[in-house]
């Protein structure tokens, strides 16, 4: 039985190597020999997404090791990190918002800012709800249910946001 479980976990781990690369996409640049993550993304977004990606990698490691307390802790960290999205992007003083300056958003364009905030809120709520589902599943100590909650987060929250945002960012000739 132990052997079957070990084999199952090993195969699942091997099968998920690609998922790890999707969660934390990297691109090697051979001439410079460095790894670039979330390229073409504004710096505050890049920092936050890299932090969330680290926690997602830790969650996957925890699931594979059946370390459910660690998985619950990392899920909580994603919830905490998610709240930083609003703090970073939509501070109380729009005229002093560094992100608006970097993204070339007019701090006086309240209509555009409101629309952006509404879009971010949808993804923020999705990230938080998904992370809480992972935490809830981890508390049951059911490896399969925890993994399913994890993959649901990646598929339904991460991918949806990336598809939406990347579709806007990718030039038509590269699509």
Is the CA virtual torsion 61, 62, 65, 70 positive or negative? positive
> Hey, what are 147's tokens?
């993994």
Asked if 62 contacts 68 with a C-beta cutoff of 8 angstroms, the reply is: yes
Q: What average pLDDT does the segment 116-125 reach?
A: 83
Task: Please give the Cα distance from 71 to 59 (Å, whole number).
Answer: 5
Distance in angstroms (rounded) separating the CA atoms of residues 26 and 127: 21
Would the pTM count as exceeding 0.75?
Answer: no
Tokens matching residue 37: 């993550």
The pLDDT tens digits for 54-100 are: 999 999 999 999 999 999 999 999 998 888 777 777 777 777 777 77
Nearest to 45 by CA among 94, 116, 112: 116
Contacts of 23 (CB under 8 A, 6+ apart): 53, 56, 57, 60, 154, 158
| Domain parsing of the chain, residue ranges | 2-174
């Amino acid at each position: 039985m132990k052997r079957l479980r070990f084999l199952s976990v090993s195969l699942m781990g091997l099968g998920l190597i690609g998922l790890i690369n999707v969660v934390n996409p990297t691109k090697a640049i051979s001439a410079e020999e460095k790894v670039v993550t979330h390229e073409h993304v504004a710096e505050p977004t890049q920092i936050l997404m890299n932090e969330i990606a680290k926690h997602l990698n830790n969650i996957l490691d925890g699931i594979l090791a059946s370390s459910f307390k660690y998985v619950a802790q990392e899920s909580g960290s994603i919830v905490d990190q998610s709240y930083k999205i609003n703090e970073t992007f939509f501070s109380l003083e729009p005229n002093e918002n560094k992100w608006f300056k970097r993204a070339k958003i007019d701090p006086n364009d309240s209509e555009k800012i409101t629309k952006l905030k509404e879009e971010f809120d949808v993804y923020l709520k999705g990230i938080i709800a998904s992370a809480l589902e992972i935490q809830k599943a981890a508390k049951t100590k059911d490896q399969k249910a925890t993994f399913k909650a994890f993959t649901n987060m990646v598929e339904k929250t991460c991918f949806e946001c990336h598809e939406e945002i990347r579709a806007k960012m990718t030039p038509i000739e590269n699509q």
